Copies of this chain bind each other. A is one copy, B any other.
């Protein structure tokens, strides 16, 4: 594979794991993180650490960004020393964060004005999945940029699915996915709790369903946390996914779609954040277990 100058901005658990896989693939990597200390591991592995987003992207052919929310992405792109104004013409920005579709659309326009291109490339998977380069990726944006980006995305996961030219489309898909994950967790929380209060062992019910009808890593992984009521390790914090559910509800209101399940998930995550619970976001399952007096 051709080796490129790549910038990676945003080195949380997900970003760091993805950046390491780009390094492993032989690319020249420059990294930036608001809290600079998080770049130390990558620097040891050969990455160059930049002091600002603009400095990080100055000679990049490709930029990846992975930050926590819309505000952080807008700051990174359009704020002081932002990446959009500094990015060389012809460069492609792979926008990996979970943000509103309109945020990626708006940023795609800003890139176009500077001669570069944004492709929305949200990823599915926890940090351990990112480390193993087994993420699933969705991509949407201008066709030529998508094609140039494809080999880099392949290095991060087990498949890239194409959702066309609208840079908002892949963000919508990502929001739908996080919503469906939340619905699966809530369904297990309700079912396992009913079973427990009926005299069954949560663990046995969990094992039955995840070896039969719901025999899939998602149900097995999150179901284990729900069955054991032990929400560790933390794949994503409740506040992060609560933000995603708010984005789902924003979209549902914009597009006039009734989403009763999404409303419930958002409420449960609000309580989980309000109570200051520190585990994985799947800990919102406690709204049912705790709510049943267990």
Specify which of B177, B186, B213 is in contact with A136 (CB 8 Å cutoff).
B213
Q: How far is the CB of A284 from chain B (nearest CB, A)?
A: 12
Stretch from A76-84, A233-241, A260-268, A274-282 contacting the other chain: A260-268
CA distance A197 to B169 in the complex (A): 11
Interface residues of A in 195-214 (CB under 8 A from B): 195, 197-200, 204-205, 208-209, 212-214
CB-CB under 8 A for A136 and B212, given A183-B187, A200-B163, A205-B173: yes
Specify which of B173, B183, B215 is in contact with A208 (CB 8 Å cutoff).
B173
CA distance A198 to B168 in the complex (A): 9
Residues of B within 8 A of A257 (CB): 190, 193-194, 197, 288, 291-292
A255 at the B interface (CB under 8 A): yes
CA distance A292 to B193 in the complex (A): 32
| Chain A interface, DSSP helix/strand/loop, else mixed | helix
Q: How far is the CB of A150 from chain B (nearest CB, A)?
A: 16
Specify which of B124, B259, B264 is in contact with A194 (CB 8 Å cutoff).
B259
Would you call B260 and A264 a contact (CB within 8 A)? Answer: yes
Would you call A199 and B166 a contact (CB within 8 A)? Answer: yes
Residues of B within 8 A of A192 (CB): 176
CA distance A159 to B191 in the complex (A): 21
Q: How far is the CB of A159 from chain B (nearest CB, A)?
A: 7
Would you call A293 and B179 a contact (CB within 8 A)? Answer: no
A232 at the B interface (CB under 8 A): no
A58 at the B interface (CB under 8 A): no
A248 at the B interface (CB under 8 A): yes
CB-CB under 8 A for A214 and B213, given A138-B208, A180-B187: no
CB-CB under 8 A for A172 and B200, given A218-B213, A261-B264: yes
Would you call A190 and B179 a contact (CB within 8 A)? Answer: yes
A216 at the B interface (CB under 8 A): yes
CA distance A197 to B257 in the complex (A): 8
New contact pairs (18) apart from A136-B213, A215-B216, A257-B288, CB-CB < 8 Å: A168-B198, A169-B198, A172-B195, A172-B199, A172-B200, A176-B194, A180-B187, A183-B183, A187-B261, A190-B261, A190-B262, A194-B259, A213-B216, A214-B218, A256-B292, A256-B293, A258-B291, A260-B264
Q: Which residues of A contact B (CB under 8 A)?
A: 101, 124, 136, 138, 159, 161, 163, 166, 168-169, 172-173, 175-177, 179-181, 183-184, 186-188, 190-195, 197-200, 204-205, 208-209, 212-216, 218, 248, 251-252, 255-262, 264, 287-288, 291-293
Q: List 7 A-B contacts (CB under 8 A).
A: A169-B200, A176-B209, A179-B191, A179-B194, A180-B209, A197-B255, A255-B292
